[in-house]
Amino acid sequence: MELQNSNQSSSSFEISKGSTLMQEKHGMSQRICHKIMQFEDNLLHGENPRLIYINDPRRTNDKYEFTGNEITTSKYTVITFLPKNLFIQFHRVAYLYFLAIAALNQLPPLAVFGRTVSLFPLLFVLCVTAVKDGYEDWRRHRSDQKENNREALVLHGDRFQLKKWKKIQAGEVVKIRSDETIPCDMVLLSTSDPSGLAYIQTMNLDGESNLKTRYARQETVSYVSEDPVSGLIREDSVSGLIRCEQPNRNIYEFTANMEFNGQKFALSQSNIVLRGCQLKNTESIIGVVVYAGKETKAMLNSAASPSKRSRLEVYMNRETLWLSVFLLVMCLVVSCGMGLWLLRHTEELDTLPYYRKVYFTHGKDKFKKYKYYGIPMETFFSFLSSIIVFQIMIPISLYITMELVRLGQSYFMIEDRHMYDSSSGSRFQCRSLNINEDLGQIRYVFSDKTGTLTENKMEFRRASVYGKNYGSSRVSDSIEGQGTAAAKAVGRRRWKRNSEIAFDNELMELLTKDLAGDERIAAHEFFLTLAACNTVIPIPSSGRSSSCTGSESLNVETIDYQGESPDEQALVSAASAYGYTLFERTSGHIGIEIDDKRLRFNVLGLHEFDSVRKRMSVIIRFPDNSVKVLVKGADTSMFSILAKDSNSNDLVRHATESHLTEYSSQGLRTLVVAARDLTDAELEQWQHMYEDASNSLADRAQKLRQTALFIESNLNLLGATGIEDKLQDGVPEAIEALQQAGIKVWVLTGDKQETAISIGLSCKLLSADMQQIIINGHSEEECKSLLTAAKDKYGVKSSNRKKKSSTSTDNTENNHLDIPNDTKSSNVPEGCYGKEEVNASLALIIDGNSLVYILEKNWETDLFDIATSCRVVLCCRVAPLQKAGIVDLIKSRTDDMTLAIGDGANDVSMIQMADVGVGICGQEGRQAVMASDFAMGQFRFLKRLLLVHGHWNYQRVGYLVLYNFYRNAVFVLMLFWYILCTAFSTTSALTDWSSVFYSVIYTSVPTIFVGILDKDLSHRTLLQYPKLYCAGHRQEAYNMHLFWITMCDTLWQSLVLFYIPLYVYKESTIDIWSMGSLWTIAVVILVNIHLAMDIQRWIFITHAAVWGSIVVTYACMVILDSFPLLPNYWTIYHLAKLSTYWLTILLIIIVALLPRFLLKAVHQFFWPSDIQIAREAEILRKQGSHLSSKRNQDYPS
Amino acid sequence: MKGATSTDSSSSSSVAKSKKPVYSRFSQQELPANRLILTPASIITAFIAVGLIFIPLGLVSLFASDSVVEIIHRYDVDCLPSEYQNKMVEFIQSSSTKKTCTKSLTVPKQMKSPVFIYYQLENFYQNHRRFVKSRSDKQLHYGDKNAISTCAPVAQSTDKSPIVPCGLVAWSLFNDTYGFSVKGKSLQVNKKDIAWGSDKNYKFGHNVFPENFQKTDQVGGAKLDSSKPLSEQEDLIVWMRTATLPTFRKLYGRIEQDLQANDMVTVVIENNYNTYGFKGTKSLVLSTTSWIGGKNNFIGLAYITVGAICLLLAIFFILLYVIKPR
């Protein structure tokens, strides 16, 4: 499936959905299907085509108003900004919570805070977000405007006139010149090339830098052209009707047909140029707009990838529920207390000096109730007002803090120089800002092979021609070899490729013989097929590059092969090296230079590669008028369609098969090449079928496939090729480190078993002493027996939970989606040291076919049991959907985090399915990157990403969440204790402003900085001891246990905070604001010192943030105490004069933190964690080296 | 490189093209840092340090607190005539009853001048939200008579005119008075400067005079001399600094004269304030001060306890380290 790579496989991915979906639908859980459906939804709209009248925009837009070409990516205008932005902002639950609290506070009986004060948090957050949104939108406006005001040549009457992009409408005829960007999706009518060829670069669309060919239909080319002299165009010549599908986001497919001058013909993807592409190597093109503006495929594709939620955040929400329970309990206590208090004092309520039920005046207010609504209502109101006072118990600000922290973390990930790929010049990219901390808990890595583990730079290594093996001894220095055929070949060559290809002397000698004999002819056809049967575009470059061969180099013309598949490029280059140089390709013919003779072949038809057939073929008319079909494809798909008559064929076949096994055992990617002559009758029948198929709107792919199946039969085997796919740098090391870190690396590849195993060996995934369980059944029974045999043989235990799951499978056979809920199990307790269960020497190798059976038949549990007990799993021959299915297999059965890494469009489904998707910015376009959460240049960066950044981020965010819970809860509890002393009247001793500032100003900054900057261990240590990563697997930084410990600590600290001042100032003259001031400063200092105690690494920023916060708090209190209109006027000055104040604060801090410190000390003394040990080792080592270096300085030896 | 002129624009553009992150110690997270670890030594040091600081501090505080002489006398029940024992509220609300009551207190130790006089109320929720909020700081400061929106339910007098100072707090002003004499010689009570200077000078207006005060159906407490501006009504200012807890003291005045041990201080109490209605208590407190404030053993004891615990923990860790070194 990956035999032909890149774009083809991505387009084939699209095709494969239609066909394989039916088989796989049942086996695959519903949600994958759902996910895939979004790609699917656009495939067939044949019933309701869109009609485009060429050069008649009015008629085109008459019936249905198609969108113009103006694009608006901005969300707001000046007028709509305020309402719309507010509307969007209030979609967030957090803001609604703020709003509800603020609204509650406006009710007279509940007015706990002043009106303005209570609105402050909401307004603050709204303003910050609005400014951010506004700025972003302003930038979007500017870029939109720039985009919309670009100009293009549009046909008006009989000449082209400049027109702004935003005015272009569907149906108009547009002319694009070289290097211009295409303003909308257009069907090509003609190009400056007489054969109707145009080259485009699709960089902006899919990131591929190579050129792609697009064709104007021959039928239109001759009619629609500018008069070379006058530059005029005959208006009446440009008219016709295009019937095309409704706008969709599939950039690899386009189905339409065109009526032009009474002819009716089909249009396909190769006839359309898309918005955002650039015209290259072509002087100009003329096309008709079919989709404009936001209906263009580029715009439809610009939707963001689905957002993911981090695991830690899910847990955090669970704990937030607990906090809500606490909040509820506290509010209930207060309101019940209020009720009881009122009940006990019912008689006195009118006479109490400090509580009033009625107004004191005569007149109409006499005996009128003063904010008194009866005991039940008062109880209820007190419940509500305590919610207002305790509102920050639910750490809404935490969500905002976390966003900021993740932003900061991603800055450091992006800026990391160790994750910069200098070869492709690509930095690390954080495309998703929600799941940084998930990187620290990954347990399964699902990796694509091609382009991910390997470089996807193909090199032609081996060839088997007519049963003979070549290239076993590499003669890379053959060029220097005197008198050899190779040297002659070099002299003969006029075309020069940029990269040298090591070729085989023997084969070269064979090619120099006369064209006679089976073997010679086979060799001829073999290379002809390599040169012809592909979609590579030769681009002769005029620049004369000086080559290594010195004087001759002046005549050497270089030719650059631009292809969508690196395999094909390698093959064409190889053919060129052996004297079969592809030098020209137009829509109708190709030019190949064979031994200095330039030959032109008419291409009658081309069946592109697809994942079902796994081969591609061209039908070529030779100059001597004979017609041949040339086919190349994957071995499995080829051997079944070979001619089975002659003996010699059989011999060749056996030889080739053994060669293929040899190649793939060396890790080479293999292709089989075959050809046959076509008779006139066959040709005619084929042509008939082909035209019929290509003219149909619906089911075209299906029909084309049938046509291909018809022609690709009875072939004569010519030979096979072996292409080396080089491993990327550092892959084995990275995989080894990941495995040491307790991460299971699964490789999912489209390659065949042997290739997969060999790659597995070369990247140290597999080792020779491993026992391999191979499951490659061709039928259900076979699979089942292999599965059970493997289970029995290697003693895979079906633990209780698995048994339970299998019984429940029986019960709920048709609804297996329910199972994961009760079988969900985490491997956490097993931990990294739980290797006793994971047999180190087991490796599972399973192929796509077996997977289909297994996933269909609900044997997933068996597979899961085996797979999880193996150290390595290799899945070969898997389709993109199956990749997602395998990820889902793990995801739905365990709580373990999964990461998928890949580079091609075939990995998209897998990347989106996994908890974390990583895209490699490789050669296979940007589809994977667009769908990913993180993108990077090389596989080996994964090691650093997970072991270093993942670890840091996880530790940071885990601590951040716990600390924020603590920080808010300790404050709220302190208020709660006080309220119990105020006749449950929800009085707060703190000033309104201090209560509001507490979480916004006083304590927020240090947490953010610590969340971004703190590091427990240096990256060197983390990389040196990958096992430290297991802390994430064991959820060391954040778990229920820690939550409850933190909450107990919080309770203690809040009691200390409240009761120490209470006892110190018992029976004294202290007033409520002085006490509030003391509490405010005490809690701020306490939480900051608490944080300081846990900071692992002090840099000046942390110092500034922590101590600065305390200073800022004091400053704020001084300012707040300077307004004579506030009752707390001048409090701090009076308070701070007394030594009792300072003694109290000191006492609070020490007593509050003593248990925590003790616990920490004891824990580190008796049960040091791995991280702790590594940290001590690191610091002591550093101190040691520091000391020794000092000593060396002191006593120079 | 970055400020390259057009002549070497090619090189500058190539620099711009390279997206390799620019090295800085910040972006590579390699800023110089101090890292702390809890080694046994540092743990033990920390505990010893806390112990050594806390115990002396505790001792000093305890000593200071010990030097404070305090006389507390609860008089709300004692000052009730026996016939009103069961009709307390009736007694206090009646204008005809004789409220004066004389008590004598023995000075246990010599009390150095100044001797502070406090009244202590219990079960009086000055911190009740409905009470705390019922005031108008705007009115107190600017004298804006109509700034009474926050003063309900005591905003207007019976004849609908605004009250200055309005609100429950002012309305409930304490109105017991004390007269002191020793050996038949009356003691001067200085009621000047019992409030915070900041409150007197800035917070309470110099031009704001009481108006319509206590002219409601119910009279809450003391009346104010309407010829004196609020800034001079120090009892009011003290009262308006509402207390933290339902048990609180407020400064009444100072006796600027030493009291000798075993002196009999005769106190004439005008028992006007109604605490009977809500089962509150009233006490008279005479106390000297030290640097630590009033009599308060808590700080000293707490410091000594914490210090001792820390020293014990230090010993524990030392033993641990000796017995079971890591």
Query: Quick one: average pLDDT of B243-251?
Result: 94
In degrees, to the nearest 5, what angle opens at C-alpha B277 toward C-alphas B275 and B279? 65
Query: Quick one: average pLDDT of B168-188?
Result: 92
Q: Which residues of B touch A1147 (CB under 8 A)?
A: 299, 302-303, 306
Confidence of residue A80 (pLDDT cuts 50, 70, 90): confident
Query: Quick one: average pLDDT of A1114-1122?
Result: 94
Confidence of residue A950 (pLDDT cuts 50, 70, 90): very high
* Amino acid found at B301: L
CA distance A983 to chain B (A): 6
Residue A1045, chain B, CB below 8 Å: the answer is no
Which residues make Cβ contacts (< 8 Å) with residue B183, sequence separation at least 6? B263, B264
Please give the pLDDT value at position A513: 76
Confidence of residue B195 (pLDDT cuts 50, 70, 90): very high
Give just the sign of the alpha carbon dihedral A286, A291, A296, A297: negative
CA distance A402 to chain B (A): 19
Q: Hey, which residues 1073-1112 in chain A have their CB within 8 Å of chain B?
A: 1073-1075, 1096-1101
Confidence of residue A334 (pLDDT cuts 50, 70, 90): very high
Other C-beta atoms lying within 10 Å of the C-beta of residue A873: 25
Please give the pLDDT value at position A899: 94
pLDDT higher at A199 or B196: B196
CA-nearest of A443, A413, A403 to A949 is: A413
pLDDT at A200 over 80: yes
Confidence of residue A1107 (pLDDT cuts 50, 70, 90): very high
Inspect the interface and report whether the beta carbons of B125 and A1143 lie closer than 8 Å.
no
Q: Which residues of A touch B40 (CB under 8 A)?
A: 1165
Residue A353, chain B, CB below 8 Å: the answer is yes
Query: Quick one: average pLDDT of A347-359?
Result: 84
CA distance A994 to chain B (A): 17
Give the residues across from B156 on adjacent strands: B162
Please give the pLDDT value at position A814: 36
Which helix H or strand E contains A434, and what residues bound it? Answer: none
A514 is catalytic: no
Longest dimension (CA), chain A: 128
Determine which of B129, B175, B201 to mutate to test the interface with A (most A C-beta atoms within 10 Å). Answer: B129
Q: Output helix, strand, coil percentages for chain A, rounded to the nearest 5.
A: 50, 15, 30
Token pair, residue B70, equals: 């305090």
Please give the pLDDT value at position A338: 94
pLDDT at A331 over 70: yes
Confidence of residue A214 (pLDDT cuts 50, 70, 90): confident
> If you average pLDDT over every residue of chain A, what do you get?
79
Please give the pLDDT value at position A611: 63
With a pLDDT cut of 70, the percent of chain A lying above it is: 82
Which residues make Cβ contacts (< 8 Å) with residue A366, sequence separation at least 6? A359, B217
Inspect the interface and report whether the beta carbons of B38 and A1164 lie closer than 8 Å.
yes
* Chain mean position to CA A197: 35
CA contacts within 13 A on the Cβ side of A313: 18
pLDDT at A923 over 70: no
CA-nearest of A469, A922, A495 to A725 is: A922
Q: From B117, which residue of chain A is nearest by alpha-carbon distance? A: A1069
Please give the pLDDT value at position A33: 42
Residues in chain A: 1197
Confidence of residue A434 (pLDDT cuts 50, 70, 90): confident
Query: Quick one: average pLDDT of A689-701?
Result: 75
Q: Is A798 exposed, middle or buried (0-12, 13-18, 19+ CB in 10 A)?
A: middle
pLDDT at A813 over 70: no
pLDDT at A430 over 70: yes
CA-nearest of A864, A891, A765, A830 to A1030 is: A830
3-state secondary structure (DSSP) of residue A238 = coil
Which residues make Cβ contacts (< 8 Å) with residue A560, sequence separation at least 6? A498, A538, A539, A540, A541
Query: Quick one: average pLDDT of A1112-1134?
Result: 93
With a pLDDT cut of 90, the percent of chain B lying above it is: 59
How does pLDDT run across A908-919, given as a tens digit for each residue?
A: 788 888 999 998
Confidence of residue A1189 (pLDDT cuts 50, 70, 90): low
CA distance A423 to chain B (A): 11
How does pLDDT run across A821-868, given as a tens digit for each residue?
A: 333 333 333 344 444 444 457 888 888 878 888 877 778 888 888 888
The H-assigned helical ranges of chain B are: 9-17, 40-66, 88-93, 129-132, 137-142, 168-171, 197-198, 234-240, 297-323
pLDDT at A253 over 90: no
In degrees, to the nearest 5, what angle opens at C-alpha A470 toward C-alphas A468 and A474? 165
> Is the CB of residue A95 less than 8 Å from the CB of residue A126?
yes
Q: Which residues of B touch A1143 (CB under 8 A)?
A: 57, 61, 292, 299, 303
What span, in angstroms and rounded, lies between the C-alpha atoms of A1017 and A1124? Answer: 51
Residues in chain B: 326
Cis amide prior to B108 (ω within 30 degrees): no
pLDDT at A364 over 70: no
pLDDT at A896 over 80: yes
How does pLDDT run across B284-320, given as a tens digit for each residue?
A: 999 999 988 888 899 999 999 999 999 999 999 999 8
DSSP state of B241: S
Maximum average pLDDT range among A46-55, A115-124, A808-817, B279-288? B279-288
Inspect the interface and report whether the beta carbons of B153 and A358 lie closer than 8 Å.
yes
CA-nearest of B274, B317, B283, B295 to B175 is: B274
Please give the pLDDT value at position A588: 74
Q: Among A448, A847, A865, A888, which one carries the catalytic annotation?
A: A448
CA-nearest of A1088, A1146, A1075 to A970 is: A1088
pLDDT higher at A1011 or A578: A1011
Determine which of B68, B245, B276 to mutate to test the interface with A (most A C-beta atoms within 10 Å). Answer: B245
pTM, entire model: 0.80
What span, in angstroms and rounded, lies between the C-alpha atoms of B167 and A884? Answer: 71
How does pLDDT run across A743-797, given as a tens digit for each residue?
A: 999 998 877 777 788 788 888 888 777 888 888 877 778 888 888 888 887 766 5
Confidence of residue A1089 (pLDDT cuts 50, 70, 90): very high
Please give the pLDDT value at position A1059: 95
In this complex, the residue of A112, A1100, A1165 whose CB is nearest that of residue B320 is A1165
Please give the pLDDT value at position A206: 59
How does pLDDT run across A56-66, given as a tens digit for each residue?
A: 888 888 777 77
Inspect the interface and report whether the beta carbons of B21 and A1139 lie closer than 8 Å.
no
Using CA atoms, how far residue A515 sits from A507, A675, B228, B319, in Å, is 14, 17, 128, 96
Task: Read off φ and ψ for residue A448, nearest 5 degrees.
Answer: -75, 160
Q: How many helices (H) and strands (E) does chain B have?
A: 9, 10
In degrees, to the nearest 5, what angle opens at C-alpha A692 toward C-alphas A690 and A694? 65
Query: Quick one: average pLDDT of A620-631?
Result: 87
pLDDT at A20 over 50: no
Inspect the interface and report whether the beta carbons of A412 and B196 lie closer than 8 Å.
no
Query: Quick one: average pLDDT of A624-645?
Result: 82
How does pLDDT run across B129-166, given as a tens digit for each residue?
A: 989 989 999 999 998 888 888 888 888 888 888 999 99
> Is the CB of residue A252 less than 8 Å from the CB of residue A172?
no
Maximum average pLDDT range among A223-232, A480-489, B29-38, B312-321? B312-321
Query: Quick one: average pLDDT of A261-270?
Result: 80
| A336-340, A585-589, A988-992: the lowest-pLDDT one | A585-589
What span, in angstroms and rounded, lies between the C-alpha atoms of A183 and A205? Answer: 13
Q: Output helix, strand, coil percentages for chain B, rounded to the nearest 5.
A: 35, 20, 45
Residue B19, chain A, CB below 8 Å: the answer is yes
Please give the pLDDT value at position A276: 80
Inspect the interface and report whether the beta carbons of A1071 and B202 lie closer than 8 Å.
no
* Amino acid found at A677: D
DSSP assignment of A365-395, as one string?
GTT-BSS---HHHHHHHHHHHHHHHTGGGS-
pLDDT at B4 over 70: no
What span, in angstroms and rounded, lies between the C-alpha atoms of B189 and B207? Answer: 27
Confidence of residue A622 (pLDDT cuts 50, 70, 90): confident
DSSP assignment of A678-736, as one string?
--HHHHHHHHHHHHHHHH-STTHHHHHHHHHHHHS-SBEEEEEEEEEEEEPTTHHHHHH
Inspect the interface and report whether the beta carbons of A353 and B171 lie closer than 8 Å.
yes
Determine which of B18, B35, B134 to mutate to test the interface with A (most A C-beta atoms within 10 Å). Answer: B35
CA-nearest of B189, B199, B292, B295 to B238 is: B199
Q: Hey, which residues 417-446 in chain A have their CB within 8 Å of chain B?
A: 417, 420, 422, 425-427
Other C-beta atoms lying within 10 Å of the C-beta of residue B292: 23
Residue B206, chain A, CB below 8 Å: the answer is no
Please give the pLDDT value at position A827: 39
> Is the CB of residue A930 less than 8 Å from the CB of residue A26?
no
How does pLDDT run across A719-738, given as a tens digit for each residue?
A: 888 888 788 888 989 999 99
Please give the pLDDT value at position A503: 62
Query: Quick one: average pLDDT of A488-502?
Result: 46
* Amino acid found at A341: W
ipTM of the complex: 0.94
> Is the CB of residue A159 less than 8 Å from the CB of residue A173?
no
What span, in angstroms and rounded, lies between the C-alpha atoms of A431 and A401? Answer: 19
Confidence of residue A548 (pLDDT cuts 50, 70, 90): very low
Inspect the interface and report whether the beta carbons of A986 and B36 lie closer than 8 Å.
no
Confidence of residue A602 (pLDDT cuts 50, 70, 90): confident
Q: Hey, which residues 228-247 in chain B have their CB within 8 Å of chain A?
A: 241-247
Please give the pLDDT value at position B17: 52
pLDDT at A11 over 50: no
